[in-house]
Amino acid sequence: MSEEGAGPTGSSAADAPAAELREVAVRAARAAGELLRERFALGEQQQVSSKSTPTDLVSEADLAAERTIRELLAQLRPDDGFLGEESGGGAGVSGLRWVVDPLDGTVNFLFGIPQWCVSVAVQDEHGSLAGAIYDPCREELFAAVRGSAPSLSDSRGTRTFSSPLREDLATAMVATGLAYDARVRAAQATVLAGVIPRVRDIRRFGSAALDLAWTAVGRFDAYFERTVKPWDIAAGTLVCEGAGLQVVELPAREDLPWGILVAPPALADKLGPLLKDPSP
């Protein structure tokens, strides 16, 4: 990763709105993340309920974090639309929409596993324009603006980075996620059985947004997942694209819903066919 310079070069007035939106995303992600970190430290969450299936959980912490983000955006960006995992959407008049996962990795959070984050992105008619992913447990913040290299802020400061762009499938560390629906998980197991012998190993940690950020920075070589929702990937795919990775759609088929594959282009060409057709 390369160190970030003292200031942007070649910037213009046209760049300012996106940079300002990124800072709003960062501020919102940090605000929700600090609230969640306090609750995570307590180790107790009340008012836990399920959504799509008994294993698809939502806690009062999810709802509180989303309220924090919505209130901040209402102050800073009152004319923008909003789409949140927990409270749904609201139309705006600016042509921009904030897409928010206030707690990505809820099950990890509830089980005391420090693998969860806050994801905040803003989109225009072309997709994600700016976004941030904040990991309060590690105090790492990934941020991006469309068309520019993403940044990582941690205890060492803030620096831009790009992906290593590895190409060898046999040595690839691949991240994935599993659906809440048992029928879909069974189909995903068939796919994994075809992938595992062809790669170095598989990791399944339970936070799509963090999986994307870690793929962008090179901790994983590739990531794929079915059943992801817009709030899961809005910020993460922007970070990955800025790091030089390719985002490929995985069309729905049989018991496998729509999904995405994110990898260096050469690796995506090798891994993609295995995910679309797992037969030998």
pLDDT at residue 16, as a whole number: 45
pLDDT at residue 43, as a whole number: 76
pLDDT at residue 181, as a whole number: 92
Domains of the chain are 10-160 (3.30.540.10), 169-276 (3.40.190.80)
pLDDT at residue 118, as a whole number: 98
- Output the furthest CA–CA distance in the chain (Å, rounded): 55
Angstrom CA distances, 243 to 86, 88, 197, 238, stand at 29, 30, 28, 9
Residue type, 173: M
pLDDT at residue 272, as a whole number: 95
Structure tokens of 217? 């920075």
Instruction: Answer yes or no: is pLDDT of 3 > 50.
Output: no
pLDDT at residue 83, as a whole number: 96
d(CA 248, CA 226): 12
pLDDT at residue 36, as a whole number: 96
Of the candidate ranges 55-59, 113-117, 276-280, the one whose mean pLDDT is the lowest = 55-59
d(CA 105, CA 208): 8
Q: Collect all residues with Cβ–Cβ distance below 8 Å to 169 and sequence separation of at least 6.
A: 198, 199, 267, 270, 271
pLDDT at residue 194, as a whole number: 95
Instruction: Answer yes or no: is pLDDT of 13 > 80.
Output: no
